Amino acid sequence: MLKNINRRPLLLGGAGLIASPAIVQAQNWPSGPIRLVVPFAPGGTTDLVARLVADQLAIRLNTPFVVENRAGATATTGSQLVADAAPDGQTLLMSNIASHAIGPSLYRGLRYDAVRSFTHIAMVITNPSVWVVNKNTPIQNLADIVRLARAQPGGMNMASSGAGSSNHLMIVQFARLMGIEYTHVPFRGAGPAMAAVIAGQVPMMSDSLPSAAAHIRADVVRPIAMSSAQRHPSFPNVPTFREQDVDLVSTTWFSLSGPAGMPPAITERLHRETMAIITAPAMRARFAELGGDPGDMTSEQFTQFVAAELERWRPIVQASGATVD
């Protein structure tokens, strides 16, 4: 005689067992090309790092990655797009200090929460900023910038990748420390800003080192100051701000995030694959060449880091007086 059998489905994978929807989703992932949204224009550090990582993730996950540039509103336009996307692991974001530490304090009408609206997957790279000038200017150091700014009504033009970016706020901090006026010239990304400096449309810009590195090595711009605490080993001839009697140290960061609510199995797989990519000797060497260091955080640590960065930058944004409705 047959005994009664409990026919409730088991929520575990295995032969003859019914898996939970989340497990089924993770097992079937990726289900097609993965979209990686870059919230800045092509040519900047965010775009550069995104494409390096996307190329390797495509190989490791055996699926195409489509890098999509959605510039605007200090990286918040593209970030909002990802926050609104389905949390299925098919849409990801190259998040960064602008989109998740600065933008939320700058844009009063922002709809996303930098921590709760996203699944924060992995820190990818951290790096200092560098100030570069057009080679035809007489500027050789920070003292020259101060002198020229004081000699011009309204100060001098200083470019960055966008209003409210970390490099814009470096300009704000520098001007406050030196007691000078300036005119900020924001661009929709570091690439267009660098092109304007090279063409002589603006005399200088504050840029993240990875996006400026190739231009410095090609000798098409002149680097005058690095925001690291010590001279960077890849650019030993570039003095720091502190060496030039300006107490300013700043680090920017670039990372991988997705919409809130992504299945843990997909998040863990993406974190594992990303860490394998950025810690591989070839990628470490490439990051060093660009002037950056690979990240070293769990997903949980990275989420806590974002929350801490949000609090750290809020008073700096408030002190700058910069707000956008």
pLDDT score, position 22: 58
Closest CA to 123 of 255, 252, 251: 255
pLDDT score, position 25: 65
pTM, rounded to two decimals: 0.84
Is the bond into 30 cis (omega within 30 degrees of 0)? yes
CA distances from 108 to 190, 266, 318 (A): 24, 32, 12
Cβ pair 291, 132 in contact under 8 A: no
Q: Note down pLDDT in tens along the chain; length 325 residues.
A: 434 444 444 444 444 555 556 566 677 899 999 999 999 999 889 999 999 999 999 999 999 999 999 998 889 999 999 999 999 999 999 999 999 999 999 888 899 999 999 999 999 999 999 999 999 999 999 999 999 999 988 899 999 988 888 999 999 999 999 999 999 999 988 999 999 999 999 999 999 999 999 999 999 999 999 999 999 999 999 999 999 999 999 999 999 999 999 999 999 999 999 999 999 999 999 999 999 999 999 999 999 999 999 999 998 888 777 666 5
pLDDT score, position 263: 97
Residue-level length of the chain: 325
Rg (CA), the chain: 22
CA distance 317 to 205: 19
At how many degrees (to 10) do helices 299-320 and 166-178 cross?
A: 40
Q: What's the per-residue H, E or C state across the chain? A: CCCCCCCCCCCCCCCCCCCCHHHHHHHCCCCCCEEEEECCCCCCHHHHHHHHHHHHHHHHHCCCEEEEECCCCCCHHHHHHHHCCCCCCCEEEEEEHHHHHHHHHHECCCCCCCCCCEEEEEEEEEEEEEEEEECCCCCCCHHHHHHHHHHCCCCEEEEECCCCCHHHHHHHHHHHHHCCCEEEEECCCHHHHHHHHHHCCCCEEEEEHHHHHHHHHCCCEEEEEECCCCCCCCCCCCCECHHHCCCCCCEEEEEEEEECCCCHHHHHHHHHHHHHHHCCHHHHHHHHHHCCEECCCCHHHHHHHHHHHHHHHHHHHHHHCCCEC
CA distance 129 to 194: 13
Q: Which domains does the chain have, with CATH numbers?
A: 32-126+253-320 (3.40.190.150), 128-251 (3.40.190.10)
* List of residues 6+ apart from 236 with CB closer than 8 A: none
pLDDT score, position 1: 42
Cβ pair 74, 102 in contact under 8 A: yes
- Side-chain-side CA neighbours of 182 within 13 Å: the count stands at 28
